[in-house]
Chain A
Amino acid sequence: MNFQDLLLIKHELLLTIAALIILCFEIFSTDKNKGMVVPLSAISLAFIAAVSFYFPSEGTAFGGMFQTDGLRTAVKLILDIATIIIILQSYGWVTKEDNKNKISEFYIILFSTLIGMNFMISSGDFLMLYLGLELATIPIATLAAFDRYKTKSAEAGIKLILSSALSTGILLYGLSMIYATTGSIYFEEVRAAFQPSPLAVLGMIFFITGMGFKLSLVPFHLWAADVYEGSPIAVTSYLSVVSKGAAAFIFTYVLYTVFSVASEIWLQVIVLLSIVTMTIGNLFAMRQKNMKRFLAFSSIAQAGFLLLGILGQGSLGMGTVIFFLLVYVFTNLAAFSVVATISDKTGKENIDDYNGLYKTNPKLSLVLMLSLFSLAGIPPVAGFFGKLFLFNAMASKGYFIVLFIALINATISLYYYLLPIRAMFIMKNENPIDTFKSNVYIKIGLTVSVAGIFLTGIISMIYEYLISVSVGL
């Protein structure tokens, strides 16, 4: 055992230590200061992110099972930032009377899923990928069922664990076929030995299906809306941003490296999946009345757009996908934070309840407006640049018909993203949601998200950096 290996996995080790610190805090804390776990976990996560930013590591460890480089560090940093915002936004919900006895548990489980995602991102073989995926998925199911007194939450938990278990089973069956044809589970060896024989291609399709469940692509999306609606909002935003982001990265990476020989085959699959995902996600989003369901279908549609970036191939495709993820983190988390605050204070989650919100809570409605503009891709904000680069990456490979369909879908999406904005600013309401002051943590989270929405698009350095670290794929 080489101790240099432990330095390479320092991000994961530090996360484990942070989870243990929260556990110790739980033991020694009194009833009064239980809420202090929120700043504790946010600060420790910020510290971990800073450490891995200033001391980046590169290399492979544990016989090639674990690998890390600038690209993976960048993705981990994005996930860290997203988790910090989610921790801040969860404060109002987690300190409620129902959750009083289990505040720290939420953060311990949150950290353990984050560890799983980090291992998944850094995986160098299929076994590590599977272990990371499961370490990320199983705890999330318990988080989805975290609201003990709500039947919807229990339903969301069971739906999440059963559908993710099925998808993992399908993925593993595909991996066994790939193992049969190549004789290895290491990415590099599989890449060298991969031949597009029928069995290997079938294994690849099974793999795409299994990851498609995690990404909630359309033929496999049926769990997403129910789980997103039933779970607590903090968990919903975690599922739709962090979990999806990690799966999107490793999916793109495996397609680009391991299955690079069979790229003509999976490119067709991705084209088909992205068109269907965008269209169905958009059409279902239009008819939703519940804000959480609305955002769930919008995130399905966004996953369809994300797949378009994969069509870019090479470092351009990978850089674009990660940049879109970064933009998506800030945008979606701003929207979810506003929905979470309003739900915590008033318990209202329907779009109709937002009528006349601008009169009573102008700041919150402005933030929600900005994030919806960014999701729709209206120019000054970052969402526009995210979509622009995606379309650019795709068009550079000549997919003009897909580009046309994507543009039509972007136009359709503009319609339903404007619906909540119309409700907030134009619709009259006799008794709108009362004016309220949100707590300081949510304010910090919203400030970070809004700054991200503006700055990630304008500072072109970020995009160039992401392209430069993904060179060599």
Chain B
Amino acid sequence: MQEIPLYYFLTVSTLMFFIGVAGFIIRRNLITILMSIELILNSVNINFVAINRYLFPDQLQGHFFSLFIVAIAAAEASVAIALIINIYRKFNSIEVTEVNEMKY
């Protein structure tokens, strides 16, 4: 039986990372921006786990790092969603084009 090469994992994670960054910049909805950030963090998780599994199979640092990232991403998402609800109460919208009281 043949293993899936490391290459494949890294390709997926790189794609996810750049989709996330592009989504962060292009999207106009705050919830979608939050989802883009989750994509970025998950691509990092894939990277850590795959690298740990293939390159350094005798240790666990990468696995644990990704566990911590998952936990903290959840905390971050909860705070961000609370702030988005706060924005919705003030502006009656969660489009970033509406939230523009301060500009240069």
Contacts and interface: CB of A to CB of B under 8 A. Distances in A.
Interface residues on A, range: 35 or more
Interface of A is mostly: helix
A172 B69 contact: yes
B100 to A, nearest CB: 8
B40 A173 contact: yes
A131 B40 CA distance: 17
A141 interface: yes
Contacts of B51: 176, 179-180
A254 to B, nearest CB: 16
A373 to B, nearest CB: 28
B86 A157 contact: yes
Contact of B83 (A161, A179, A184, A230): A161
Given A162-B34, A165-B80, A179 B68 contact: no
Interface in B46-88: 47-48, 51-52, 55-56, 59, 61-62, 64-65, 68-69, 72, 75-76, 79-80, 82-84, 86-87
A148 B21 CA distance: 30
Contact of A226 (B40, B65, B72, B102): B102
Contact of A161 (B64, B68, B80): B80
B24 A166 contact: yes
Nearest to B36: A166
Given A169-B37, A176-B47, A183-B56, A141 B69 contact: no
Q: Which of B21, B47, B76 has the most CB of A within 10 A?
A: B76
A158 interface: yes
Nearest to B42: A169
Given A151-B91, A158-B30, A158-B83, A138 B101 contact: no
Contacts of A138: 75-76, 79
Contacts of A172: 41, 44, 69
A221 to B, nearest CB: 12
Contacts of B61: 127, 179, 184-185
B83 A141 contact: yes
Interface in A182-236: 183-185, 225-226, 229-230
Interface in A113-148: 126-127, 130-131, 134, 138, 141-142, 145, 148
Interface of B: 17, 20-21, 24, 30, 33-34, 37, 40-41, 43-44, 47-48, 51-52, 55-56, 59, 61-62, 64-65, 68-69, 72, 75-76, 79-80, 82-84, 86-87, 89-91, 99, 101-102, 104
Interface of A: 126-127, 130-131, 134, 138, 141-142, 145, 148, 151-152, 154-158, 161-162, 165-166, 169-170, 172-173, 175-177, 179-180, 183-185, 225-226, 229-230, 284
29 contacts: A126-B65, A127-B68, A130-B65, A134-B75, A138-B76, A138-B79, A141-B79, A145-B86, A151-B90, A151-B101, A152-B101, A155-B99, A157-B86, A158-B30, A158-B86, A162-B80, A165-B80, A166-B21, A169-B20, A173-B44, A173-B47, A175-B44, A176-B51, A177-B47, A179-B61, A183-B55, A225-B104, A229-B102, A284-B104
